[in-house]
Amino acid sequence: MADYFGEGENNWQMVGLKVFFKIWGWLIGPLVFFLFLGKFLESRFSQWAPWPFVICMGLGFAVTITGIFKEILFLWKITYSKKNGDTAPKDPQQVQRDYFDSLDDNNSDASNKR
C-alpha cells in the first residue's frame, strides 16, 4: 500500500486506470462469454436457430449494465459521504485510499466497506 500514496505528482492516474480497466472488464467480459455461449447453444439446438444466441446476448447486456451500474454506485458512495448528513465531496486523497482499500485483496476490512 505504500506505493499507492507516494509523493509523486501523477499518483491520481492509478485510480483512473483501475476504474478504466474495471469498467472495460465489465463491458467486454460478459459480452464475450455470452457470445460464445450463445453460438454454442445455437449450434447445439439448431431447431431454435436464432433464439439461444439472442437470449444469451440479452443476458450479456443485462450483466454488463448491472456490473457497470454497480461500479458507478460504489464510486459514488465512496466519493460522497453520507455520514452525519454531509453530502460534500471528500478529500481526493481519502477517496483514493478508500478505493484502493476496497480493491486490496489482503485487506480484511475491504469486504466490510462495501
**Is 5:97 a contact under the CB 8 Å cutoff?**
yes
Across residues 37-45, what is the average pLDDT?
Answer: 91
Q: Domain map of the chain by residue range?
A: 15-113
**Residue keyed to cell 467480459:** 29
**Is 95:79 a contact under the CB 8 Å cutoff?**
yes
Exposure on the CB side of residue 44, measured as CA atoms within 13 A: 8
Residue 12 — pLDDT band, cuts 50, 70, 90?
low
| pLDDT value of position 57 | 94
pLDDT of 102 > 60? The answer is yes
**Is 44:68 a contact under the CB 8 Å cutoff?**
no
pLDDT of 30 > 60? The answer is yes
pLDDT of 8 > 60? The answer is no
Share of the chain above pLDDT 90, in %: 35
Alpha helices in the chain (DSSP H): 12-44, 51-79, 92-103, 110-113
| pLDDT value of position 114 | 47
pLDDT of 91 > 50? The answer is yes
Question: Which range among 7-11, 40-44, 73-77 shows the weakest confidence by mean pLDDT?
Answer: 7-11
pTM over cut 0.75: no
Which carries the bigger pLDDT value, residue 60 or residue 88? 60
